Chain A
Amino acid sequence: MSKPSSPIDFGAYPDARGHFGEFGGRFVSETLISALDELREMYERLKNDPEFQAAFDYDLAHYVGRPSPLYLAERLTEAAGGARIWLKREDLNHTGAHKVNNTVGQALLAKHSGKSRVIAETGAGQHGVATATVAARLGLKCAVYMGAEDVKRQSPNVYRMKLLGAEVIPVESGSKTLKDAMNEAMRDWVTNVDDTFYIIGTVAGPHPYPQLVRDFNSIIGREARRQSLEQFGQLPDALVACVGGGSNAIGLFHPFLADESVKMYGVEAGGDGVETGRHAAPLNDGVPGVLHGNRTYLMEDDDGQIIETHSVSAGLDYPGVGPEHAWLRDIGRVEYVAANDDEALAAFRQLTRTEGILPALESSHAVAYALKLAATMRPDQNIVVNLSGRGDKDIFTVAAIDGIEV
């Protein structure tokens, strides 16, 4: 991909209509437009409001537990045999993943909107738990849509959401996974738009969601940038993060986009291998199309029907990807690669055994690629890996693969 001649002002994207180059936008039925307009206007007003920012910062510090550490994984570095590997410990956040950065922010928007009910879609359940958590804290009614297949696969998170007072609604339509949960949440929103705020969990969906979810998660990259300078005296040489919808990755990448020396790698779910077609890697093996309110890379068939995806990680099992990633791919600023199920599982075990840190299977994809990348780099170079979530939720999946009943 050719590099643009003049530097890009990354802060200027998306444009007023929500476009990142040819991607993004608002591809929704007219029934949702006024709700999106209302949200956009509210967010435009609040994002530069010192009082709103102070409330967000306060919650990140005292409720989420930020800043999260930037941790030098010495034994993992030794095992890889190259660049130093630093882990941005989003797994240490309240509720155990980066997802809460966004739900805390959107909960503040919900409160401002005066709406009494929040809804969310969830795949693995992490975003559902993070939404149910902030809803409990603010005393808002909460409904979480979850594909019926995922309800079966992720029963601990289903129970967590119920304990938090949320209603978990299994979605029986389509492939009964995350994409169908998102369809159903949109339908709920259209129907109950007067009293309901939709907390989308990733940087996909119609404008302004990709922008505001990115902004709320950018705390990850802002901290990592400052911590890098403090802890190793320079910017990292490379950033690595897993990409499903892409919220943890954009959160890490965005504050570094203008730093040309920092290479960035988004790691998609390779499933059985990108070459097999059984994966969830639209940026590696998809085509541009329109789904869930935005134009982006998608996994689809010759007729433009969205196809089922495959990944050991429910949180990456999504046929689309945030539109900003689609754009960053096409302009060549970020390189998108894939890690297969087997590689992610191996990384999951290796990080657990070498560092005593149990990573989410999603984050294990980033670790897997970082191990390969580090080996190609010099020992005086630094890689920051977004350890986006903890792996406690995944022990049943891993045990089942090992043939062990927990």
Chain B
Amino acid sequence: MTTLNNRIDRRFSKLRSEGRKALVTYIVAGDGGLENTVDLMHQLVASGSDLIELGVPFSDPMAEGPVIQKGHERALEHKASLRKCLALIEEFRTKDAETPVILMGYANPIEKMGAEVFADALQAAGGDGALTVDLPAEEAVPLNELLRARDLRNIFLLTPTTSDERIAEITELASGFVYYVSLKGVTGAGHLDLDSVHENLTRIRRFTDLPLCVGFGIKDGASAKAVSADGDGAVVGSVLVSAVGESADAAAAKDRVGAIVGEMRSALDS
């Protein structure tokens, strides 16, 4: 790619040239109050996040562990929705023109809005890509084309159980970066196996030059640094959502989230 019209591509290109690893952070839009989400996003960036995955709350988040499920439930109590997520990105963009933001969620809210309306709205809001958890490669082609036509990126998951044949198929569709799920299980699970991460990232690397980020089971700076040794970055979600959930108010949530992200940033850069 030569032009780098997309912020995700620009960000990974910059990180590569600096020899740094990406820190990808996930929060649930509207968790802790819709009015506080944009502030929290700016805090993520200030503390060292390179890319924000904004979770779109869904009533039935099938792939999430208990921590992120509760985040979705809290956000839904605050009346968060896909439409409001798009508005949050637009608001975020007024003060941050460069940090990439992707929407991570489930297929049904997009189906309801209509895939083309969604792709247009994501582009108009200043979003950079989407990760739709329950839209595996064989069901993702129509949305993928709509996103690609707008220079938006489509992030796919790969797992320890994904066959070589599927890796080839998925990386053909994937853009922006590839999200490697480090373990069998739901978000927030604890059994990280670094040998398996190494082995699988090496396997995936044979199929794609896209940046590889590793998520699931990353709890602190040490685990973030360890998983990103063979890849291009680490994704952290559950510990941040947990911090938001346990905080008494928005200011406390910002402090706690900022401290966790800051510690991870230092570990990754050390």
User: Do A and B bind?
Assistant: yes
Chain B residues touching A, range: 35 or more
- Residue B262 CB within 8 A of the other chain: no
For the complex, what is the distance from the CA of A293 to the CA of B108, rounded to whole Å? 11
Give, as a whole number of angstroms, the nearest-CB distance from B187 to chain A.
10
**Closest residue to A298 on the B side, CB-wise?**
B108
Contact assessment for A34 and B60 in the assembled complex, using a CB-CB cutoff below 8 Å: no
Q: Determine if B66 and A30 form an interchain contact, defined as CB atoms under 8 angstroms apart.
A: no
Question: Do B60 and A179 have beta carbons less than 8 Å apart?
Answer: yes
CA–CA, A359 to B211, complex, Å? 59
Q: How far is the CA of A173 from the CA of B156 in the complex (A)?
A: 27
B62 engages A183 (CB within 8 Å):
yes
Indicate if the CB atoms of A304 and B111 lie closer than 8 Å.
yes
A305–B138 CA distance with the chains assembled, in angstroms = 24
CB-CB contacts below 8 Å: A1-39 with B: 17, 25-31, 33-35, 37
Contacts of A305 in B (CB 8 A): 58-59, 76, 81, 108-109
Q: B60 touches which one: A25, A30, A33, A292 (CB < 8 A)?
A: A292
Q: Give Cα A306 to B109, complex, Å.
A: 10
Query: Considering the complex, which residues of chain A in the window 178-211 have a beta carbon less than 8 Å from any beta carbon of chain B?
Result: 179-180, 183, 186-187, 190-191, 193-194
Q: Is A300 an interface residue (CB 8 A)?
A: yes
Q: Mark A155-166, 1 if CB is under 8 A from B, else 0.
A: 000000000000
User: Is A17 within 8 A of B138, CB to CB?
Assistant: yes
Tell me whether B53 is interfacial, beta carbon within 8 Å.
no
13 extra A-B contacts, CB within 8 A, seeds A193-B184, A305-B59: A17-B138, A25-B138, A29-B62, A29-B63, A35-B161, A37-B163, A174-B73, A187-B62, A190-B63, A190-B184, A191-B189, A289-B108, A304-B108
The contact sample of 10 A-B pairs, CB cut-off 8 A, is A29-B134, A29-B136, A30-B136, A31-B184, A33-B136, A33-B166, A34-B161, A293-B62, A304-B111, A304-B113
Residues of B in contact with A (beta carbons under 8 Å apart)? 58-66, 69, 73, 76, 81-83, 106-113, 133-136, 138-139, 156-159, 161-163, 166, 170, 181, 184-186, 189
Binding site for B on A (CB under 8 A): 17, 25-31, 33-35, 37, 173-174, 179-180, 183, 186-187, 190-191, 193-194, 287-293, 295, 298, 300, 302-307
Q: Which 4 A-B pairs have the closest CB atoms?
A: A304-B112, A304-B109, A34-B161, A303-B81
